């Protein structure tokens, strides 16, 4: 399955998950996301400028974590310097979040609960990040186990995130080939 088909299927799944049915249109979802972004920015004393709206739309259209260069490339009206400053404002207003992966660039995505709770598959070779959703029973079990571990140590959790690191299909060793040229070490810290 190509990357575009994967993105389209993920968007359909996200829309179905968020609405409880598949009848919500992409335009309706975009309106909800932009309305939430406006509310969050207003609560933090910021305006929802045209540049910030375009940036949020670029992340919504990507439907997966993307890098600053990918964001700027997706919309010719976005400049790197303004986009970087706006990413900071959107992050501090809890509209977007950073996803740390191996590679040269940090990835950005819309934050929860603007988008549904999900986890990531991160390729150690090329840095590709794919969103994955666990079924409700498994997600509930993970949450219970993590809460139990936290409680046993006197820790009060607010949320959880899981990233599974490995090799994407494009970076895996073909049966007749050799090991990929590099597998970078896991990043330490943020």
DSSP state of 171: G
Phi, psi values for residue 143, rounded to 5°: -60, -45
- Cβ(66)–Cβ(55) below 8 Å: no
Pairing of strands 107-110, 119-123: unpaired
Handedness of CA 78, 85, 96, 68 (dihedral sign): positive
Mean pLDDT (the chain) is 81
At residue 18, the pLDDT reads 43
Structural domain spans, the chain: 3-171
Mean pLDDT of 60-69: 90
- Give me the architecture of the 3-171 domain, per CATH: Orthogonal Bundle (1.10)
- Cβ(96)–Cβ(111) below 8 Å: yes
Give the C-alpha separation, 97 to 3, whole Å.
Answer: 22
Which tokens is 67 given?
A: 């890098």
Neighbours of 151 (CB within 10 A): 11
pLDDT band at 182 (very low <50, low <70, confident <90, very high): low
Mean pLDDT of 61-86: 91
Mean pLDDT of 21-40: 84
């Amino acid at each position: 399955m190509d990357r575009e088909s994967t993105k389209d299927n993920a968007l359909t799944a996200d829309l179905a998950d968020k609405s409880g049915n598949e009848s919500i249109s992409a335009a309706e979802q975009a309106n909800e996301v932009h309305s939430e972004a406006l509310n969050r920015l207003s609560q933090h004393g910021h305006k929802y400028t045209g540049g910030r709206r375009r940036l949020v739309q670029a992340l919504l259209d990507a439907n997966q974590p993307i890098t600053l260069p990918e964001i700027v490339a997706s919309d010719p009206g976005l400049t790197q310097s303004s986009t970087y400053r706006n990413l900071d404002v959107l992050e501090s207003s809890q509209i977007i979040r950073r996803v740390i992966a191996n590679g040269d660039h940090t990835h950005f995505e819309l934050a929860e609960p603007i988008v549904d709770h999900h986890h990531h598959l991160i390729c150690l070779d090329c840095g590709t990040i794919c969103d994955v959703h666990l079924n409700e029973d498994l997600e509930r079990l993970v949450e219970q186990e993590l809460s139990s571990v936290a409680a046993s140590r006197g820790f009060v959790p607010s949320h959880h995130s899981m990233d599974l690191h490995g090799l994407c299909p494009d970076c895996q060793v073909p049966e007749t080939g050799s090991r990929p040229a590099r597998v970078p070490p896991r990043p330490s810290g943020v």
